[in-house]
């Protein structure tokens, strides 16, 4: 596959669908689909995965250096994101992510987001709906 370039940035909340639920909710595997803007997208391929457990802002300074180094590798409570580059049935390619940060004291689960849409850098676009 040629290089991909972002064509749209969204950062919208999505609802994900799993054929088999993750064993650990705050360390999920790639979902099998998602609902965004009242449309369902079935994921046909996971193109890549990565994590970002870096602490930002004030949280970047609230740990001892040795602990911060370990947390940057494996994560810590409510810190970190799991990213997935996926292709959906229509051929479109998206980056989605799970943010482990809790929404509130009453809702400690993280949220899923659609981050951006990408296309081939050679000028050809992925299929549009």
Distance CA 5, CA 8 (A): 9
Distance CA 29, CA 12 (A): 20
Nearest Cα to Cα of residue 10 among 86, 117, 111, 125: 117
pLDDT tens-digit readout, 45-62: 999 999 998 766 555 555
pLDDT tens-digit readout, 105-129: 677 788 999 999 999 887 555 544 4
Q: What is the pTM of this model?
A: 0.77
């Amino acid at each position: 596959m040629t290089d991909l370039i972002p064509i749209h940035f969204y950062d919208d909340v999505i609802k994900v669908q799993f054929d088999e639920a993750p064993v650990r909710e705050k360390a999920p595997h790639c979902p099998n689909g998602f609902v965004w803007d009242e449309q369902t997208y079935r994921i046909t391929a996971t193109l890549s995965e990565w994590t970002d457990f870096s602490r930002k802002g004030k949280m970047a300074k609230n740990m001892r250096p040795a602990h911060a180094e370990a947390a940057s590798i494996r994560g810590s409570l409510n810190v970190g994101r799991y990213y997935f580059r996926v292709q959906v049935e229509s051929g479109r390619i998206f980056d989605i992510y799970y943010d482990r940060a809790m929404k509130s004291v009453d809702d400690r689960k993280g949220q899923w987001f659609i981050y951006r849409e990408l296309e081939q850098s050679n000028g050809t676009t992925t299929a549009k709906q």
